[in-house]
């Protein structure tokens, strides 16, 4: 059974805070898909997740490199941005499957461009504009995802 939760995010700080909240609920690895128009807050949410897991530096969008790795004491985090991907098969050449271990946290922007080369996510997140604010819809697609969405819903 899947769960869905939705929240209003008033501004960039609220988006980062939601990422921090998600990070606090990830007990092991996770695959997180991020959907939304350009500028909807996908990288901002990712910054909140990565910093919430302990990263101290900048979090930049890997638009040109496809993946930005963050090796932390307790976590391996991989931030993918597939926006400029020409063909999903390119992912096979870069060894995409090696990134998705059960312990890794993989955040994927523009996952629809990855085709069958990326695994089904634990969380499928859509960010959308609501005037000056954003709406975040979080769908769980696995038992890991259900645990996270249930905790978000009860907080």
Domains of the chain: 4-154 (3.40.50.300)
| Per-residue pLDDT tens over the stretch 51-90 | 999 998 888 877 777 899 999 888 899 999 999 888 888 8
Record the pTM.
0.93
* 13-38 confidence digits (pLDDT tens): 999 999 999 999 998 899 999 999 98
At residue 52's C-alpha, the angle toward residues 84 and 59, to 5°, is 35
CA pair distance 106, 27, nearest whole angstrom: 13
């Amino acid at each position: 059974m899947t769960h869905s939760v939705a929240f209003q995010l008033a501004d960039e700080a609220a988006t980062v805070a939601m990422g921090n909240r998600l990070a606090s609920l990830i007990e092991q690895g996770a695959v997180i898909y991020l959907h939304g128009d350009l500028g909807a807050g996908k990288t901002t949410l990712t910054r909140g997740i990565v910093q919430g897991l302990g990263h101290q530096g900048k979090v930049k969008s890997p638009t040109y490199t496809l993946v930005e790795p963050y090796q932390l004491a307790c976590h391996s985090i991989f931030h993918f941005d597939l926006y400029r991907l020409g063909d999903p098969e390119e992912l096979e050449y870069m060894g995409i499957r090696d990134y998705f271990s059960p312990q890794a946290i993989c955040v994927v922007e523009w996952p629809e461009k990855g085709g069958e080369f990326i695994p089904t996510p634990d969380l499928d997140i859509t960010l959308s504009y609501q005037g000056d604010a954003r709406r975040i819809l979080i769908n769980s697609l696995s038992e890991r995802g259900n645990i996270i969405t249930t905790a978000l819903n009860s907080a």
